[in-house]
Chain A
Amino acid sequence: MDKIITYKLSDNFIEKLCGFAKENFIGKGRDISRVCFVFGGRRPGLFLKRQLGQVFNKGFISPAFFSIDEFVQYILEKKSACGKISDLEAAFMIYKLAQEIAPDILKERESFARFLPWAREVLSFIEQLDLENIPYQPLKNVEFKAAIGFDVPENINCLLESIIAIRQEFHARQIEKKLYSRGLSYLLASKYISEVDFAEFDRICFCGFFYLHKTEKAIVKALLDAGKATCFFQGDSSEWPVLENLYKEIALPVSLSSADQAQHTKSHAPKISIQTGFDVHSEVGLAREALKKINNLDDTVIVLPQPDNLIPLLSEVASYTDNFNVSMGYPLKRSALYSLFECVFNAQETKKDGQYYTKDYLKLLAHPLVKNLRLFGEASVTRVLVHKIEEVLIGAEKTSLGGSLFVKLSEIEKLRELYDLALVTMKSMEIEVTFDELKSTVEKLHGLLFGLWENLGNFYEFSLSLEEFMKCLVEKSHLAAYPLNLKMAEKIFEIKEELFNSGFNREPFSKEEIFKIFDNKIDAELISFSGSPLKGLQVLGLFETRVLSFENVIILDVNEAVLPSMKIYEPLIPREVMIGLGINRLEKEEEIQRYQFRRLISGAKTVHLIYQKRPDKEKSRFIEELIWQEQKNKNSLEVVSIPQASFKVEVLPKTLEIKKDSKIISHLKGLRYSASSLNTYLACPLKFYYHYCLGLEEKDELSDEPEAVDIGNFLHDLLEETFSQFLNKKPSFDKRFRDNFFNSLNEKFETDFTRKMKSDSFLIKAVLDYRMDKFIKNEEERDVEELICVEERFDAQINLSGRDYKFTAKVDRIDRLSEKSFLILDYKTGYTREVLPLDAEKIEKAGFTREKLKNTLKSFQLPLYLYLVSCDKRFQEAKLNAGLYSLKNLTLERLFRKEEQFSSREKIMEIYLKAMDAVLSEIINPEVCFKADETNPRYCRHCPFFYLCR
């Protein structure tokens, strides 16, 4: 039997291998179960078994199948029982060793959490040294001159020396514990191989390997030398330096018949089409369309070099077929469980002085896995409670906790109103529950979400909390609403076990570090889809296709940096130094991926290569190479056309117009109008419709930054409260008043802002103090005779064009300035000029359309106030004016700016009323639809109805 057999690159390896088994074993009546097949991974075994099933045409005892990792483990276990070290455990071992041996490495990254990424780098370096069996001696001092002509700087030599010392000790500790890293397993197996026998196998077949580490080579060579093994390779060694090198090192003749060799160059050429998308979805869309043209899905593979794109691909593929296998990982991060942990940790991290940051507290409570917990009877009990807590905290229900930015758990637990509110709702839902039961549910919830995580000091405690938490979720939440959540939960339990049993579980860690390490851990976790039993279309990663052949091949993401995907920079030990040590990953990686790519397409009949064309993405060199090959063959530059994918895009947006029916018209006719409603219409008729016809309002949100409107309300309330004492009097601003005024300001500030803001309230307070001080001084100088009104409502009907409209206005204040002169004041915290009407003549001249009035009249506030107040009999004989009083800069902008305007007051008012009439006539005009005013995109962007407006 040949020791080495080589197939052509375009051969179907599995078929050939099966042919070999048939010819040498099955056909000769030899027991196939005594043959052992070793592949790079597990998947080829499934394909070979299927093939063998066809040969036997009945059941059979399986030969032994190993992945190379399993085979190495098998060798080790022949020697003695041993296990695998977990990555975290290994990283911690490295961390401890670094502390002992090379504390310099830990500079600026002293904690385990900070060092972890570098521990992984150290591990990966040691792993490479072990796999390639690099002895200690040449490592001692890399007297190496890189091809580029520089000596290795001393600091890199030092780093290297430290790592060598760590490696030595790392090996010793693993051997002591009999828990091995992958690198050490290979290293030890390559040493033990000559000592173990494989009497259980008649033959060991190493199948489809390409690049072999030095340790792997040692294993293979030992078994070849012992006459126990046969190796199966694929491809012409003259084309692939890796193979050539391998043959040389194994030092055995290679059997590739000359007929085969001759054929090799003539082998059939697959039909290759190349297409580009501009993003993931256009790419997977192309893949879906390519599939539609394929008859035989059972002999089709979609290769996905970028696992991130799996879900978009499946979403597309599933619209076409349900017969597919996926053999890739699904990131744990995508699960609701992951986001729940994020919320839990976040709540702990933003906690301050024993109080939780309300936003994060609510976010955790509102997490679907939490709010649907069946803590007491039905999940609806928790749900109602969570909604009520939210309403209480955002201030939608008035309680002492409304708007609190930070909150203590006990404050919520003790809040009577919360349970009362919840009980009312539950009664309406016919849920029977008592006050105490509700309270205990809240306490349980708090315990689970917060209490469990508050005082963690090590991974032992953490894993206990994790266990309790997960148990509760499994038993009481709706995890199964998404089937993959359960797989994720299973994985979390595994991680919990690993942490619980880790060698470092009692080492002290800060809570934040624990969260970070755990986060780090689940960040990288994948839930693997096994992709068995084999059926239909195969969706595989590039390396899962090793050894397999398909008639139809679709490869996605054929972009540079993805295919080939290479780590160009070695952040720890520079690549050139690695090369000096005999580790040249980069070149090998390139060749390995090029080989897999070429092998896969050589064996296919049709090939679709799809890549993304974007400024930041470049087509793969593999495609460039194919194109160049074709150009050379045809001696022409125009040989390949690469269609670009596109989606339909209609760039003409539609505009919404709401027609007014009779119900709306009658509503509009009966509406009580205010300056704000008219101004809203001026600004945007559609906004008016949403707000004043449909009654829609924005949902209250908890905000840690007060808005201008909050300042406005605050000052209006303060001034109403403090100035009402002057009602019907001449105001006086003596020391007593000032003291009281500022006391009120302080108290009110405390209740209105301090609790609802982060610590920056003092900044706003300073501004308020300063401005109010100036305001009082200004008031002193204003010489007001009497305060007539403070916050008073004026309602009246106005007849416009023969129709009566109802109006209302809430006036901040009316001052009597002299015998008959009155000034209506409206406090403004924003800019006043923007809302002050232009001169009446200008308004008239521009015309009375909404669009014009929006820019000339600007706001109906002062005209409407003036008119409504003048209707009140107290002011019928008075000389009335109205003004906007800026609390920002204390300017007072009057409606009648000049004395002479009083004489033409009636004419001016007529113009205002005409404007009002024009706007109202338009509002009730059934012919004029409600339509958005989009002239100011920035205004639209901040409109509460932005998403509704279209």
Chain B
Amino acid sequence: MVQKASKETLPCIYVTEASAGSGKTYALAKRYIKLLINPSLAAQEIPLETILAITFTNKAALEMKERILDFLKKIALDKFKSLEEKNEVIEFLGVPEDAACKKAFRIMDTLLSNYQFFQVQTIDSFINAILSGCAFKLDLSAGFKTQTEYKEYLEYSLDKLIDKAGSDKDALELFRGFLKQYLYIENKEGWFPKKDIATIIAGLYSRSNKYHGKFIRSNIEIKDFIMRRNEVIELIVRLSQNVPEGADKRFAGYLSDFPNEDKEKFDITKLSNYFNRESFPLNKGYSLSEEIELLWNRIRTGLKQLCELEALFKFNYYIDIFNRVLDDLKIKSSKDDVLFLEELNKKARILFDEKSLELPELYLRLATRFRHFLLDEFQDTSLLQWENLKTMVDEALAGAGSLFYVGDKKQAIYRFRGGEVSLIDTVKEQFKGYLIISDVLQKNFRSAGNIVEFNNAVFSEENLSRFLSKEEIKKELSESCAEEIMRIFKGAKQEVVIHKSGGYIKSEFLNYKNEDERNGALKEKLLFQIQDLRERFPAKDIGILTRTNDDVQLVTSWLLEKNIPVESEKTLNIRENSYIKELVSFLKFLNSPIDDLSFASFIMGDIFCRASGISQDKIRDFIFELNHDAEDKSYLYRKFQKEFPEAWDNLFKDFFRKAGFVPLYEFVVTIYGKFSILGNFPSYQGFFMRFLELIKEQEEENPGVSDFLGFFDNARDEDLFVNVTSEESVRVMTIHKSKGLEFSAVVIPFLEMDIKLDSDIVDSDDGELKLLYVKQRFGDFSDGLREIIRKEYLKSFIDELNSVYVALTRSRDELYIYVSPRIGNKLNFASLIFEQNDFEIGEKLSSIKKGKLKDLSNFEIPVCAYKDWIHFLHDEFIDETVLVQREKILKGDVLHFVLSNIGNLHNQDEDLVINNAFKQARKRFPHFTDFSACEKTARSLLKDKAFSEYFYLKDAEVYQEKEIVSRQGQTKRIDRLIVKKDEVVIIDYKSAKVADDTYQKQVKEYVGIIKEIYPKSEVKGILIYLDDLTKIEVGV
């Protein structure tokens, strides 16, 4: 029962469709607050911990939290932008204004002291929380690590399996079978089968984590396929020998060549298109014999079966290998106490299914119980993610809870990550027994009127049906597909809210013969365009959106050629920065001094040349000359040492000596300091600091120089980006990255729809995953496969159309589009989406929208002149002798301790005191073995007449380990302090006369302080050496 309702009735499901720029976050925040302010609750009741809001990214989660807080504050302090806004909100909340205000105050207080229950987070962090709470059940340790990178683990486990083939018959058979398929069936051309296996199993791993279940091989074997293949070949050969009269000439020619072809390379996808025909291709006026007709039908049936067999069995060996690799990967990752980010959702599923985690226990472990769920970007939620939430949602709805989800089918562009757009409808179906309230957010708060209207027109029913009825598209998409697409865009029309008459759109058609020419023309146009926009907009408010990362690189390089600052994955990557390259070269050299190339790389760079004052030309000459000296075989750095001894001593020697001893971080900081890197190249501060940050981030995983360099070489680009907030550079990014963002002006240099079909399709069925290998050509022979291909094609088509939608809806004021008719050799469907591709709508903004260029809230940190600082901590260092003489020192410590337990022995049972002292010492030093030697020394000391005056005292106070404090507040500990009427004696025990002067100085210091404390007494200092039982009196 779907109805439009405005009053809160629970349980209830709210479904909100939100087109681009329609205030989705606002709607979510409002809903969240409504749940808290809920008038049916008691004033004190604030059900914070019962609400779970799930967003797509961490950034979105933070934004939403901020929005909720702002909202609450506005209500509490009555600080709405307008009366209209206030009325709208108050009405929505359904409580009187003053009650809302009071409650908002209370909520703020509760929220701030129970912030951990302010649960707005990504699905991954929520699932991670579940797994952390249930680690014991999952056989993980309490402190398991979640990590992104799993490839190394897969490779390791694959290596292990391959290694096993040496001793394990099953494993060997597995690879033998695989090789047969690899070479004979797949006709793969690589030399390294392992690389191909690794690529495919990485894909399988990633897919297995998107779905719930295990990959199951089909029961078709190679031999079945080969047998059928040979039969088909034989039939075609037979046909070629019996070509009927009147046969199509070209086909007859093809058939006559067929018997000479390599049968092992038989490939359906390369078979003549004539085979697609229902009946044998005959010229008009001829008829076919029954025998040939039968043969033709048998060939067609054979081809159909062959396609279906290939589709089913192609991945068998990969699946077999994968399943075994996966078993090992599980063991290894559990041993290392690691969970991969990819598998979080799958693990949670296991927790529910196999480890039978029940909701009561889960909620007990989460220390909360959810009643209300708010889900953002529902179109990008995966089936598995939803399944994990569904159990909780079910339970909440059964107990008068609610589910609120927001999505936009038109913006579903994350299918490759498992996003399942159909969930928007499926969930409604799943909960059809409950009240479902659907809503569409129709206002556009982002773009100016012309842009909204333009998009309304592009995605209108009328235009889309025109677009989809184009012959080129109709060929690929059936009518029902077109209907499905129309359904997605049904609610695309938006209301204009801002600048009704504003907004400018320009589209240009780039009809060039080839890509080179097109790019040449586009480059010129684009650069001109950007120059024009930069005069009217702050550069950072100009976004250039492309489909692929390669295009990002290309466009970036065009802009850079013209000295236009750009922020993109290319310019912000520290690995691409020349100074960082120099630094890395330096580290590579220090890590392996025989690496001549890296040494050359560093000394030819700016960092070295600037610091040393040696010109780059001089260095190049030096290396150039060496190239002509075949005699000297020694390493480059040694030659350099001879040629430039001063530079070596000043700049290299110390690093060369210390490489590897000093932690990498401190080492690089010292390099920064020594070469005055930040001072010499201050404009690149961000790159140097990111490099340091990266070293810091990698300290756990890759602590040493070589580990770090290995990591750096292979690091993912996203780990290498510099943070920028510069106003002066244009942004270039992919459409996918632009989702959720907006710019004043957007330029789309390549408006494209490139529909690609994956050759592997997962068929998921109740815990079992099947993998189909599908080629477009298979659809020509098998109806079943054609249907599957059609579905996949439709999905891919929708992905592309959605990405066009996302791209066209990012701009606020101006939008520039360039469309080409083709993508490579293929038709660019995007070129059909507008009725005309050359047009201009509205007027450009005439006034400058630059605003203040310098953001006052931005604080640029001056560069740091790093120093080698470790010696500042010299008070913390220990002497090498402490380690060398460890045992002696320990013995001294034991003796000290024993003596500290011996007070004044006058009138005491000496034996008892000594025994007690040793008893204590044995407890304190349980692992010390040489007590007898200590006892001997102690007893000798006490017996020695020279010392008895310090141990047997008639009228004196004796203190052991007495702490005194100097007037500056520094504490000194005196081993033995004897206070007599007119005299104070300070005794300090030493193991041996190693540093007599220091000892005497120390005792003199004690004497000084004690004199201040006992100004009327005579103060004596005595050093007792325990090794030879001698003493020295120390005067002041």
Contacts and interface: CB of A to CB of B under 8 A. Distances in A.
Interface in B319-374: 335, 337, 358, 360-361, 363-369
Contacts of A533: 875, 970
Contacts of B700: 333
B511 to A, nearest CB: 21
A58 B919 contact: no
Contacts of A568: 116, 129, 367
Contacts of A59: 964-967, 1008-1013
Interface string A467-485: 0000000110011111111
Nearest to A281: B689
Given A53-B967, A121-B142, A318 B962 contact: no
A60 B1013 contact: yes
Interface in B106-146: 108, 112-113, 115-116, 129, 132-136, 139, 141-143
A270 B696 CA distance: 33
Contacts of A947: 581-582, 584-585, 588, 598, 601
A934 B886 contact: no
A58 B872 contact: no
A927 interface: no
Nearest to A153: B361
A369 B108 CA distance: 57
A758 B162 contact: yes
A674 interface: no
Nearest to B962: A61
A316 B864 contact: yes
Nearest to A337: B661
A649 interface: yes
Nearest to A591: B113
Interface string B44-77: 0000000000000111001001000110011001
Contacts of B1010: 59
B853 interface: no
Interface in A468-509: 474-475, 478-487, 489-490, 493, 497, 500-501
A474 B881 CA distance: 10
A706 B190 CA distance: 13
A490 B878 contact: yes
Contact of A335 (B192, B594, B663): B663
A336 B585 CA distance: 21
Nearest to B872: A322
Contact of A637 (B79, B116, B665): B79
A120 interface: yes
B309 interface: no
A481 B191 contact: no
Contact of B139 (A108, A474, A500, A530): A108
24 contacts: A46-B971, A53-B969, A58-B967, A59-B966, A286-B861, A315-B869, A481-B661, A482-B662, A483-B877, A501-B927, A594-B113, A621-B115, A644-B857, A645-B860, A646-B860, A648-B683, A648-B860, A649-B684, A656-B578, A664-B624, A694-B600, A763-B179, A945-B597, A947-B582
Given A334-B699, A937-B553, A480 B880 contact: yes
A699 B594 contact: yes
B880 A697 contact: no
Nearest to B707: A339
Interface in A119-163: 120-121, 146, 148-153, 155-156, 159
Interface string B991-1018: 0000000000000000011111100000
A663 B627 CA distance: 12
Contacts of B65: 618
A98 to B, nearest CB: 13
Contacts, number: 458
A889 B189 contact: yes
Nearest to A396: B594
A759 B163 contact: yes
Contacts of B572: 649, 651
Contacts of B302: none
A888 B190 CA distance: 8
A760 B1010 CA distance: 78
A49 interface: yes
Contact of A117 (B143, B860, B880, B969): B143
Contacts of A949: 581
| Majority SS at the chain B contact face | helix
A501 B860 contact: no
Contacts of A652: 560, 563, 565, 571
Interface stretch (A249-257, A544-552, A571-579, A596-604): A571-579
B625 to A, nearest CB: 8
A49 B969 contact: yes
Interface in B632-672: 657-663, 665-666, 669
A109 B162 CA distance: 28
B215 interface: no
Contacts of B883: 474, 486, 489-490, 493
Interface string A733-769: 0000000000000000000000000111011101110
A314 B869 contact: yes
Contacts of A945: 597, 601
A108 B79 CA distance: 58
A819 B175 CA distance: 48
Contacts of A621: 112-113, 115
A117 B966 contact: no
A649 B878 contact: no
Interface size class of A (residues with CB under 8 A): 35 or more
B604 interface: yes
A323 to B, nearest CB: 8
A289 interface: yes
B703 A767 contact: no
Interface string B857-892: 111111111110111111111111011101000000
Given A493-B886, A651-B572, A766-B183, A62 B963 contact: yes
A635 B660 contact: no
A67 to B, nearest CB: 15
A60 B1009 CA distance: 7
A618 B862 CA distance: 25
Interface stretch (A272-280, A431-439, A784-792): A272-280
Interface stretch (B248-256, B268-276, B440-448, B721-729): B721-729
B285 interface: no
Contact of A286 (B74, B684, B859, B877): B859
Given A571-B136, A699-B594, A934-B557, A948 B600 contact: yes
Interface string A711-751: 10000000000000000000000000000000000000000
Contacts of A708: 191
Given A59-B1010, A363-B706, A484-B870, A501 B926 contact: yes
Given A53-B969, A279-B690, 9 more contacts: A54-B969, A59-B1008, A319-B867, A334-B703, A339-B704, A368-B661, A569-B365, A621-B112, A647-B686
A615 interface: yes
A647 B581 contact: no
A481 B550 CA distance: 47
Interface string A615-648: 1101001001100100110011100011111111
A57, A280, A286, A653 pick with most chain B CB within 10 angstroms: A653
B723 A646 contact: yes
By Cβ-Cβ distance, the 5 closest A-B pairs, closest first, are A368-B660, A50-B969, A950-B578, A318-B869, A695-B627
B696 A649 contact: no
A763 B971 contact: no
B417 interface: no
A117 B337 contact: yes
A696 interface: yes
A649 B360 CA distance: 52
A311 B665 contact: yes
A120 B179 contact: no
Given A637-B70, A637-B79, A642 B857 contact: yes
B24 to A, nearest CB: 18
B112 A148 contact: no
B857 A762 contact: no
